[in-house]
Amino acid sequence: MNRRTLLTSAAFAAAVPAFPSMPAFAQTAAAPGDAEKKHADETKKVGSLSLAASRVAVEKASGPMIKEFAKWEVAEQETIADILKSMETDGKAEGALKPPTESEVEAMLDADGKSSLDKLKATAGKDFDKAYVTAQLDGHKKLLTIQEDYLKVGQNREHLSVTKLARGQVKEHIDHLDMLKSKVG
């Protein structure tokens, strides 16, 4: 099964209320609080830079493995951004993915993120591939710390479930990026 499909399915399953006839599962989740807001904001900030850089890499990467990773990263970051956004609203859940627009992604970047993205855009060829992989590896290490920090203090069941899934994906990506880094030098 495609791991993105698995991630999306598991996130959906975590967000669906338990059936009332299943008392062992019929618990109410804690309302999102400060820890959840902090986690979502930090994840969106770092994830937005990863998404923006990966959207660029889909076009500019010279190595086919780098380009493939960038495509996966775009799909995953768009999904995570959509999930986090939907968790912040009280509206009805929807099955359709609504990826963030370029302007929404740029709005999430701080000055350092914008500067990093501009530097990346200014490179080409193998230098681009190296810079992209290095930036993704650094960003994924930050994302892992954010997920693990939240898992220590989180209280919202759905938010915790999504975070556990995200942490697993981030760990996978770090391994993959380490391999890519060894290939690009």
Q: Percent of the chain, pLDDT > 70? A: 82
The model scores a pTM over 0.85: no
Averaged confidence pLDDT in the chain: 86
- Alpha carbons 109 and 92: distance in angstroms, whole number: 28
Under 8 Å between Cβ of 29 and 156? yes
pLDDT in tens, 148-166: 999 999 999 999 999 999 9
At 66, list the tokens.
């780098």
What is the pLDDT confidence band of residue 27, given thresholds at 50, 70 and 90?
very low
**Is residue 25 over pLDDT 50?**
no
At 52, list the tokens.
């923006």
At 136, list the tokens.
């993704």
Question: What b/e readout covers 58-84, taking b as 16+ CB neighbours within 10 angstroms?
Answer: eebbebeebbebbebbbbbbbbbbbbb
125: left (phi over 0), alpha (psi -120 to 50) or beta: left
What is the pLDDT confidence band of residue 62, given thresholds at 50, 70 and 90?
very high
The one-letter amino acid code at 166 reads A
pLDDT in tens, 69-92: 999 999 999 999 999 888 887 767
